[in-house]
Amino acid sequence: MAEYLSVGTLTNYLKRKFDKDPYLERVFLTGQVSNFRVRPNHQYFSLKDDQAVIQATMWGPIFKKLPFTLEEGQQLNVVGRVQLYAPNGSYSILIEQAEPAGVGELALRFEQLKKELTQAGYFKSEHKQELPAFNRKIGVVTSQSGAVIQDIITTVNRRFPGLSIRLYPAKVQGEGAAEEIAAQIQKANQAEDLDVLIVGRGGGSMEDLWAFNEEVVVRAIFESRLPVISSVGHETDVTLADFVADKRAATPTAAAELATPYTKADYFLALERSQLRLKQVVDQQLKVKGERLERIQQSILFRQPERLYDTYLQKLDHLDQQLSQVLDRRLQAVSHRYQLLNQALVRQSPSPQLERLNQEVLVLDKDLRRSMHLLVQKAQQRFQVASDALLQLELSQILQRGYALVRKQERIVSNVELVQPGDSLSIQLQDGQLEVEVTHVQESDV
């Protein structure tokens, strides 16, 4: 009788076979990446070819150490072990190592970096600078001991003797080379007297040239204010520094030629040609100006310059007449308006009324003075009458006591100073009046 196995029993049996089979414990597999998307830690995807598909797992630490970027559709060579997952009966490969299939690791990294930097805009033509037509001082970033600097010096001295070359020495391969190259590019950009910068090294393997593919070097060249000529490796070698540089030279000699586009002889020849052209232009201008001067000297206006302003003098006289007429009309209008205003002002003037009021005041003042004089006279008369009456009333009382009232004419004599010898005096007593003549005046000692 047949013995039936459970699914779990069969799956566990197969899992033990997978785990113990030495052939499946370390498998070298090639396939195309499928269903890949980056996950935060561990990566799960498929490897496929034309005949089959296998699930693949890559733990986070292994994924983070990959020297290239894992991408969908990439062809990989992987090393790992095959395992069976019992709960769903599927098998997969647990990847321990991986590298691009068909191309080397550096070649893949090169293409990936090129793609990233292209998308970032580092290689766009609008960022390229034109090389100066004449350079007085050339900077070179390269190895101090390499043949590059010697080739550049030889070529420059041959083409333009006396041109200044300044070396910015840097490691051109190995650990730290990229950072050193970038630092020297930045240092060269701080010099105010440099006109152009050559960055390069001699030939070598891709590993030897790799420093010129690093992003730090590409960024330093991109940010350089100086025009940069790259000269890395041989003519067939290509680096990312070549793409970002303003010009690429196949050799150091070609770089030196780009930095000296004209030889000294070319400059002297160009100078002679420019001098000749300048002389021709000046001679032509002198000839044209001379002919024009001669025509002007022969012109009627030059011989009789007064004709030049005859028309203007006539126009000036005409305008002067118009101005005089306008001013006369304006003056008449203003004068007429002034007369009208003056007449209106005279009509409104208070002078006649003031004169009339002044006459009234004079008449009233005269009347007032006359009235006051009459009032004063009447008052004086009343006062005199009252005074006399009062005196009469009081005098009788005084005379009864033995006193006398002495008058000189109508004036009462109150002291001897009012009397002179020979004066006639009236002396009124209680019961009569005496008429006497003064014979002697004597003043009292008191």
| Token duo for residue 131 | 């090389």
What are the strands, taking DSSP E only, across 287-421? Answer: 405-408, 411-412
- CATH code at 239? 3.40.50.261
CB atoms within 10 A of CB 288: 10
Per-residue pLDDT at 228: 96
Per-residue pLDDT at 306: 67
For residue 95, being part of any structural domain is answered with yes
| Token duo for residue 190 | 């701080």
Considering the domain architecture, whether residues 169 and 256 belong to the same structural domain is answered as: yes
Considering the domain architecture, whether residues 281 and 413 belong to the same structural domain is answered as: no
Considering the domain architecture, whether residues 73 and 160 belong to the same structural domain is answered as: no
Considering the domain architecture, whether residues 144 and 82 belong to the same structural domain is answered as: no
Considering the domain architecture, whether residues 61 and 165 belong to the same structural domain is answered as: no
Considering the domain architecture, whether residues 137 and 174 belong to the same structural domain is answered as: yes
For residue 446, being part of any structural domain is answered with no
The DSSP bridge partners found for residue 248 are 230
Residue-range definition of the domain harbouring residue 72: 7-102
Considering the domain architecture, whether residues 141 and 208 belong to the same structural domain is answered as: yes
What are the strands, taking DSSP E only, across 356-423? Answer: 405-408, 411-412
For residue 421, being part of any structural domain is answered with yes
- CATH code at 68? 2.40.50.140
Per-residue pLDDT at 130: 93
Mean pLDDT by 10 residues, the chain (446 residues): 72 73 78 90 91 92 88 87 82 88 71 88 92 90 91 91 92 92 95 94 84 94 95 85 93 91 76 86 89 78 68 81 88 88 79 82 87 88 78 71 83 85 87 88 76
Distance of CA 390 to CAs 69, 117, 436, Å? Answer: 153, 145, 26
Considering the domain architecture, whether residues 236 and 309 belong to the same structural domain is answered as: no
Per-residue pLDDT at 137: 94
C-alpha span between 70 and 81 (Å, rounded): 20
**DSSP per residue, 194-263:** --EEEEEE----HHHHGGGGSHHHHHHHHT-SS-EEEEESSTT---HHHHHSSEE-SSHHHHHHHHSSS-
Considering the domain architecture, whether residues 135 and 243 belong to the same structural domain is answered as: yes
Distance of CA 328 to CAs 316, 319, 325, 332, 446, Å? Answer: 18, 14, 5, 6, 97
For residue 112, being part of any structural domain is answered with no
Considering the domain architecture, whether residues 127 and 232 belong to the same structural domain is answered as: yes
Considering the domain architecture, whether residues 216 and 319 belong to the same structural domain is answered as: no
For residue 306, being part of any structural domain is answered with yes
For residue 353, being part of any structural domain is answered with no
Per-residue pLDDT at 55: 92
C-alpha span between 436 and 245 (Å, rounded): 159
Mention every residue, 6+ apart, whose C-beta is less than 8 A from residue 236. none
> Which of these three, 262, 278, 301, is where a domain ends?
262
C-alpha span between 247 and 348 (Å, rounded): 99
H-helix or E-strand spanning residue 113 = helix 105-119
Q: How many domains does the chain have?
A: 5
Per-residue pLDDT at 62: 92
Sign of CA dihedral 154, 156, 157, 158: positive
C-alpha span between 249 and 246 (Å, rounded): 10
For residue 343, being part of any structural domain is answered with no
Per-residue pLDDT at 2: 67
Considering the domain architecture, whether residues 242 and 167 belong to the same structural domain is answered as: yes
Per-residue pLDDT at 393: 64
Q: Do 399 and 429 contact (CB within 8 A), yes or no? A: yes
For residue 141, being part of any structural domain is answered with yes
